[in-house]
Chains A and B, each alone.
Chain A
Amino acid sequence: MSTGELLRLDGIGVRLGGREILKDVSFAIRPGEFTGLIGPNGAGKTTLLRVILGLQPVTAGQVLIDGEPRAARDSSIGYVPQKLAIEPDVPLRVRDVVSLGLDGHKLGIRLPSRARRELVGDMLTAVGAQRYADARVGELSGGEQQRVMIAHALISRPRLLLLDEPLANLDISSEQGIVSVLARLARAEGVAVLLSAHDMNPLMPVMDRIVYVAAGRVAVGSTDEVVQPQVLTRLYGHHVDVIRVHGRILVVAAEGVDDLTADAEDLSVAG
């Protein structure tokens, strides 16, 4: 049942601890697309990513990969978590981490080979991490770790790459560095990207589509379609304003806080 869609979420609902974290979330990602998962903190972005990865059970809906329900073990999705909670003495060098991206999930040991070493080396160069290839991953800064984890995820040639708030703790120059590395690699390898962030601005140059999450629901489409006051007001259930200044977009709470509950139909936009 090939529909040309790499990933489709159909009516996903997640209920945790009595609260509805996600409600009736549907969207699709096509091969090679760069999609931003944008929304405020606590909106449900991480939960959504975990659903796609199979780490979070759903109370409604399903996840389809290439039109089929998601299998237990899926190697077509790569994942870069937000932060590595890792001590500095963990015996993994950067090249070991990237090497684990190939076969860290397998039993047994594998003897080193030149081909493998070159593959790892190429990947490290592609993300710009070859400088610290022999350093311990636990001793790197946040931005350096990010690059390493991107290399780890990409080396097994996934078709979809998920990143959870990769820009959250970086300063501006590192932000731009990561975004351009990602965009370049994604185009080169034909990998679709779904990247969550609470600020959409660094992604504007590279995003094809946006999935805007607020209060557990989504609005899907291009930036111009989605980032509009009416759409977002209905999504949030509060008045919001969209301010465009110097090519930047700001979404801010507006005066007059009536609690508007939106209906599902109101949220559908093109796409």
Chain B
Amino acid sequence: MFTGLMLNTWIAATAVAVIAGVTGFFAVLRGSTFAAHAIPNGAFAGAAGASLLGFNAFAGLAVFSVAGALGIAGLSRRARNDVATALTLVTMLAIGALFVSWSTEYAQEAYSLLFGEVFGVSSDEVLPIVVLGAVSIAAIIVMFRPLMLSSALPEVAEARGVSARRMELAFLLVMALATSMTVPVVGALLMFSLMIGPAAAARSLTARPLLAMALGVAIALVTVWTGIVVSYESNWPLGFFVGIGGAFFFLAGRAYAAGRRRMTVRAAAVA
């Protein structure tokens, strides 16, 4: 399982989990669950088109995800956020469906782009994933303080000159870039599960932001690594383990938080 080819898989998956943990923290904080679900679908369309038309896959991924982010941000100016996200999402998916229908191997192609295909990661695919992951994390580090302020206390941020709209666009773009590279590995439909589940679980465990982000990354890593191992043995799709794992950790986090609340109440009653 740790041979050369699988090494690429391990590296790629690790990078994906780290990206997911970091962006997921903000996605959950900002309540951008729907956008986190929608944006990777742009990458789906880009990947399908790229593989079909033979141009650079990564350019396709990046262009379409960014287009998706811009679409959501643009439509949100005059419409409700959830309507804008829904319309952008289905448009991306429909274009992807068209591309997939044109290619000759459409069933497999669609399936692996949507649900992930972790075992065919080639060496030249690993590098862009890692690089883009590093770039996205760097971007988040740079934006960290205004992004935190705008996410947690939007009115205060506005008063200090941090435009909510610009922060939203910036965050969506980072999410687009970060997730675009991960779609071929984890799949467009499941990437968001890796973002939301571990981050939500981490929030149940701690309120401190940096710790929550670190925990989110850790849980995402555990999920992905476990998934790779079991997927390798059983041949079941990695996306399945990501989806179920995300839900499992979310519930575990909630149970932990509820248990701790009960103990606090009991302690207070005793005191």
Contacts and interface: CB of A to CB of B under 8 A. Distances in A.
Chain A interface size range: under 10
A40 to B, nearest CB: 23
Interface in A143-201: none
A88 to B, nearest CB: 9
The majority secondary structure among interface residues of chain A is loop
Contacts of B145: none
Contacts of A87: 80
A87 B82 CA distance: 13
Contacts of B79: 89
Nearest to B83: A89
A12 B80 CA distance: 42
Contacts, number: 3
Interface in A42-94: 87, 89
Nearest to A87: B80
A87 B80 CA distance: 8
A163 B102 CA distance: 62
A87 B84 CA distance: 15
Contacts of A89: 79-80
Interface in A87-108: 87, 89
B230 to A, nearest CB: 45
A89 B79 CA distance: 8
A87 B78 CA distance: 12
A127 B57 CA distance: 63
Contacts of B80: 87, 89
B269 to A, nearest CB: 11
Interface in B121-147: none
Interface in B59-96: 79-80
A89 B78 CA distance: 10
Nearest to A88: B80
B242 to A, nearest CB: 34
A86 to B, nearest CB: 12
Nearest to A89: B80
A89 B80 CA distance: 9
A89 B82 CA distance: 13
A90 to B, nearest CB: 10
A95 B183 CA distance: 50
A96 to B, nearest CB: 20
A138 to B, nearest CB: 11
A257 to B, nearest CB: 28
A68 to B, nearest CB: 40
A55 to B, nearest CB: 27
B245 to A, nearest CB: 35
Interface in A185-228: none
A14 B80 CA distance: 38
B81 to A, nearest CB: 11
B268 to A, nearest CB: 10
B34 to A, nearest CB: 16
A22 to B, nearest CB: 24
B270 to A, nearest CB: 16
Interface of A: 87, 89
3 contacts: A87-B80, A89-B79, A89-B80
Interface of B: 79-80
Q: Which 3 A-B pairs have the closest CB atoms?
A: A87-B80, A89-B80, A89-B79
